[in-house]
Amino acid sequence: MKILITGGAGFIGSHVVRLFVNKYPNYQIFNLDKLTYAGNLANLTDIEDKDNYTFLKGDIVDAAYVDGIFNEHQFDAVVHLAAESHVDRSITDPLAFVYTNVIGTVNLLNTARKQWADNLQDHVFYHISTDEVYGSLGKEGLFTEETAYDPRSPYSASKASSDHFVRAYYHTYGLPVKISNCSNNYGPNHFPEKLIPLAINNIRNEKPVPVYGKGENVRDWLYVIDHARAIDVIFHEGKVGETYNIGGVNEWKNLDLIELLCDQMDEKLGREQGHSRKLITFVKDRAGHDLRYAIDSSKLMNELGWKPSVTFEEGLSKTVDWYLQHPEWLENVTSGNYQSYYDQQYVSR
Ligand code: NAD
Ligand code: DAU
């Protein structure tokens, strides 16, 4: 089977590519990525020489390019992760999110529909989405697959739009699709603009850790490898036309989470307990900041038998260890050097 994974050089995509390349040696895995600031081939050095892995540098917004690679490689399936993914960036530059998340997704859908027209039922287009499409919860309740969409940031509006297009191609053209909506991920290779890796990097460097507002917003955190495991299960066993929510049953107020992280890092760095908490700095709140996300994953757990493999304390500890053991990764992505890694390694392919 030939599978096109988009966004495979990013945070979650790199874990999905690694899992598929290692677990399914008979599959041919193609990783299509534009290598934006968030794409980093250093995330994949351990598998880049495997026979069943091919990297394709390209932009999903370029319809002719997308047509061309489908013609050349005749993919059987798509696992679509490529996106602009950071809420704060979407507030300053919404159009970038419309181009990649909406137009890029529709380009992939159009090409898949044309290419697979003769035997649609033998293919699958699996779209990876977010719980943010459901909006913001109050103190009670969970997002289920039936929760009405209510996106509130330009990022979540663009992801909601892409989800609607994916479902429209299922209903209108019979394209076999699957969608999953996941909560906040954390783990190795997370770009240090997002809360957890930013805080780890700043604590490591004894710099202020910015907490928006009063730190009372709640997120439901899932270890990235557990998300990749869920994607594997849904890709192989999920029903066509269905949506699956993925979450960690693991809600944390931002401030509580950052305090836990400070305490774990004080212990690992041999600092006095309480030292890093002094770095916590309350800053201006995010515009339109969603109060709470929390996911009901019982459909995925009951129907497909998936459950998270690590507790949050274990996952966070493994994550901190990974960043402390890979200071060069952090330094490269914060200095922009990872772009030259691409130029050196891949420009001639
Ligand atoms: P990321 O920003 O780390 O990676 C995105 C990748 O997509 C990068 O490698 C980037 O180079 C690539 N990309 C961006 N624009 C492209 C384009 N036009 N053409 C080709 N490639 C392009 O994102 P992530 O956090 O790994 O998220 C991956 C997917 O999972 C996204 O669709 C996101 O909406 C979704 N998601 C993320 C989370 C999370 O907590 N990070 C949770 C739920 C869902
Ligand atoms: O819920 C899934 C979503 O989770 C994904 O779809 C997004 O791609 C992903 O980026 C993430 O969105 P969030 O906005 O929840 O993640 P972020 O790490 O940016 O912020 C987490 C929380 O921490 C949020 O309440 C804002 C807050 N925050 C964030 C940053 C960057 C801070 O308090 N300080 C910060 O410096």
Q: pLDDT at position 264, please?
A: 97
Q: pLDDT at position 267, please?
A: 98
pLDDT above 50 for 226: yes
6 neighbors 33 (Cβ within 8 angstroms): yes
Please tell us whether the domain made up of 2-187+224-248+290-311 is placed in CATH 3.40.50.720. Answer: yes
Rounded mean pLDDT of 185-203? 97
Task: Please tell me if the CB atom of residue 86 comes closer than 6 angstroms to any atom of ligand 2.
Answer: yes
- CA 348, chain centre distance (Å): 28
Rounded mean pLDDT of 50-57? 98
The CA 264 to ligand 1 mean position distance, Å, reads: 28
Task: Please tell me if the CB atom of residue 59 comes closer than 6 angstroms to any atom of ligand 1.
Answer: yes
Q: pLDDT at position 341, please?
A: 55
- Domain spans, the chain: 2-187+224-248+290-311
Q: pLDDT at position 248, please?
A: 87
345: CB partners within 8 A, 6+ apart: 41, 48
Active site residues: 131-132, 155
With a pLDDT cut of 70, the percent of the chain lying above it is 97
Q: From 231, 193, 261, select the one nearest 14 (Cα to Cα).
A: 231
Ligand 1 atom having least distance to the Cα of 189: 3
Q: How far is CA 158 from CA 132, 197, 218, in A?
A: 10, 24, 22
For residue 290, the ligand closest to its alpha carbon is 2
Q: From 219, 164, 162, 178, select the one nearest 196 (Cα to Cα).
A: 219
Q: What is the average pLDDT score of the chain? A: 96
Q: Considering only CA atoms, which residue is closest to atom 30 of ligand 1?
A: 81
138-160 per-position pLDDT tens digit: 999 999 999 999 999 999 999 99
241-254 per-position pLDDT tens digit: 999 999 989 999 99
The CA 195 to ligand 2 mean position distance, Å, reads: 6
For residue 245, the ligand closest to its alpha carbon is 1
Ligand 2 atom having least distance to the Cα of 87: 14
pLDDT above 70 for 340: no
Task: Please tell me if the CB atom of residue 39 comes closer than 6 angstroms to any atom of ligand 1.
Answer: yes
The CA 201 to ligand 1 mean position distance, Å, reads: 21
Whole-model pTM: value is 0.97
